[in-house]
Amino acid sequence: MCTPQVEYCSTIWHPWQKHLTHIIEMVQMSAASYVQNDYHFTSGVTNMLNELKWSTLEQRRNQASLTMLHEIHNKQVNVDYRHLTTTRNNKFLIPHSKTKHHMHSFFSRAI
């Protein structure tokens, strides 16, 4: 499957518009049809993904974002996150966003 190309830097460029997410998911749907050698319009791609035990690319991007946030929080990745507000028990608070782009940026989305 072509996940390395489709998932490269996905924690950063994670699309939030539905039409862009759908376009990316179509890559995996095409790959599932190819692997299963089933190109019929009546075939359910969701069933193919389940048979192959493939999670959706969106699920994989969300998992990668949570993993990256965990690594940043535990200082396994050198990223300055002091601009984020934490509570007394060291949990992140979702940053205030004025724009949709900031609302869907890495820290806002992952938190």
pLDDT in tens, 56-99: 888 888 888 888 888 888 889 888 777 776 767 777 777 778 88
Residue 94 placed within a domain:
no
Residue 104 placed within a domain:
no
Residue 27 placed within a domain:
yes
Domain count, the chain: 1
The three-state secondary structure class of 26 is helix
Residue 69 placed within a domain:
yes
Greater model confidence, 90 or 54: 54
pLDDT of residue 3: 56
List pLDDT tens digits, range 8-36: 666 767 777 788 888 888 888 888 888 88
Residue 103 placed within a domain:
no
Of 87, 79, 75, the C-alpha closest to 106 is 79
Residue 39 placed within a domain:
yes
pTM: 0.69
69 exposure class (CB count in 10 Å sphere: 0-12, 13-18, 19+):
buried
Residue 84 placed within a domain:
no
Residue 12 placed within a domain:
yes
pLDDT of residue 52: 87
Domain of residue 53: give its range. Answer: 3-79
